[in-house]
C-alpha cells in the first residue's frame, strides 16, 4: 500500500499560470480532502469529496476547483495562480463515517510545496 | 464556528522526560471528536491519538496520552519518555458530529500547531 500520494512534490508558477495537483489513494477511501498550510496557521480545508463524482467547498475554496472522477483520485486545480496561493498543499483521505467509529481518521499525503511568483 | 487554540507555539523537552502540549477549543456541541496529529520535518501528517467526547476515559497510545477536560474544553497531549523521533510540529484538531447526512463530510478544524524540540 502506497497510502496517499501527491504529485508533484514541488512546483513554481508565475502569476496567472494554471496547474493541477493530483492526489491518489489506494485504501478504497470514500472521503478525500484538500488542505493548505501556511506559516503560523493550522491546515485549512479547501475542498472535499464524500464520494466519486461529488465535491463540496471547504473553508477557503476561492481560486481553486476540484474534480473526483475516479474514487481513488482527487484533483485540485488552480486556473489563474496568484502569489496568495503560495503554500503547502496536503491531500487526505478517510473511510467515512458509515465505516464505523474510526472512519473519520484522516490519512495524509506528503504535501506539495507550491510557490507563485 | 468551532475554533481550536494551541497557546504554545514552541516547546522543548529533554530526552526521556515528559512533556505536555496544550489545546483548547470552543464549541456549543455536546458530541464531537478530537485529534492530535504529528508533522515531522518530512511534512507528512501522522495521526497520534483520537478522543471521542462522549467517552470519559482518556485515550492512550503507548507513550502518548491525553487529558480531556470536557467542561473546560481542554484537550492536552502528554508525551512520556520523550524520544528524539518525537520532535515535530503537533496539531490539535476538532471534528463536529455530522449534521445532515453524510454530505457534510468529516471536516477537521486545526489549531496553529506547537513545535516540539527534543534535546539529547
Chain mean pLDDT for chain B: 90
Structural domains of chain A, with CATH: 4-116 (2.60.40.10)
The 10s digit of each residue's pLDDT in A46-104 is: 999 989 999 999 889 999 999 999 999 999 999 999 999 999 999 999 987 666 667 77
Q: Which residues of B touch A42 (CB under 8 A)?
A: 4, 91, 93, 109-113
Q: Residue B59: pLDDT above 80?
A: yes
Q: Residue B102: pLDDT above 70?
A: no
Q: Return the C-alpha cell found at A18.
A: 494554471
Tell me whether B30 touches chain A (CB under 8 Å): no
**CB contact (8 A) between residue A111 and residue B46:** no
In B1-120, DSSP assigns E strands to 3-5, 10-14, 19-21, 24-26, 33-39, 46-52, 60-61, 64-69, 74-79, 88-95, 108-110, 114-119
Q: Which residues of A touch B50 (CB under 8 A)?
A: 102, 105
pLDDT at residue B48, as a whole number: 95
**CB contact (8 A) between residue B111 and residue A42:** yes
Amino acid at each position: 500500500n502506497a497510502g496517499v500520494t501527491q504529485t508533484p512534490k514541488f512546483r513554481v508558477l508565475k502569476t496567472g499560470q494554471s496547474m493541477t495537483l493530483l492526489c491518489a489513494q489506494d485504501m478504497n477511501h470514500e472521503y478525500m480532502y484538500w488542505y493548505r498550510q501556511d506559516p503560523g496557521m493550522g491546515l485549512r480545508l479547501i475542498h472535499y469529496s464524500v464520494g466519486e463524482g461529488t465535491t463540496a467547498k471547504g473553508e477557503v475554496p476561492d481560486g481553486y476547483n476540484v474534480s473526483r472522477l475516479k474514487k481513488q483520485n482527487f484533483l485540485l486545480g488552480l486556473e489563474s495562480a496568484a502569489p496568495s496561493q503560495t503554500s503547502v498543499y496536503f491531500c487526505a483521505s478517510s473511510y467515512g463515517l458509515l465505516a464505523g467509529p474510526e472512519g473519520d481518521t484522516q490519512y495524509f499525503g506528503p504535501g506539495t510545496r507550491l510557490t507563485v511568483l | 464556528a468551532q475554533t481550536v487554540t494551541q497557546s504554545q507555539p514552541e516547546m522543548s523537552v529533554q530526552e526521556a522526560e515528559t512533556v505536555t502540549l496544550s489545546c483548547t477549543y470552543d464549541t456549543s456541541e455536546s458530541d464531537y471528536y478530537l485529534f492530535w496529529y504529528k508533522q515531522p520535518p518530512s511534512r507528512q501528517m501522522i495521526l497520534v491519538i483520537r478522543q471521542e467526547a462522549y467517552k470519559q476515559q482518556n485515550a492512550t497510545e503507548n507513550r502518548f496520552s491525553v487529558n480531556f477536560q470536557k467542561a473546560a474544553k481542554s484537550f492536552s497531549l502528554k508525551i512520556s519518555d520523550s524520544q528524539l523521533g518525537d520532535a515535530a510540529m503537533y496539531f490539535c484538531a476538532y471534528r463536529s458530529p455530522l449534521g445532515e447526512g453524510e454530505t457534510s463530510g468529516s471536516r477537521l478544524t486545526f489549531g496553529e500547531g506547537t513545535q516540539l524540540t527534543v534535546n539529547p
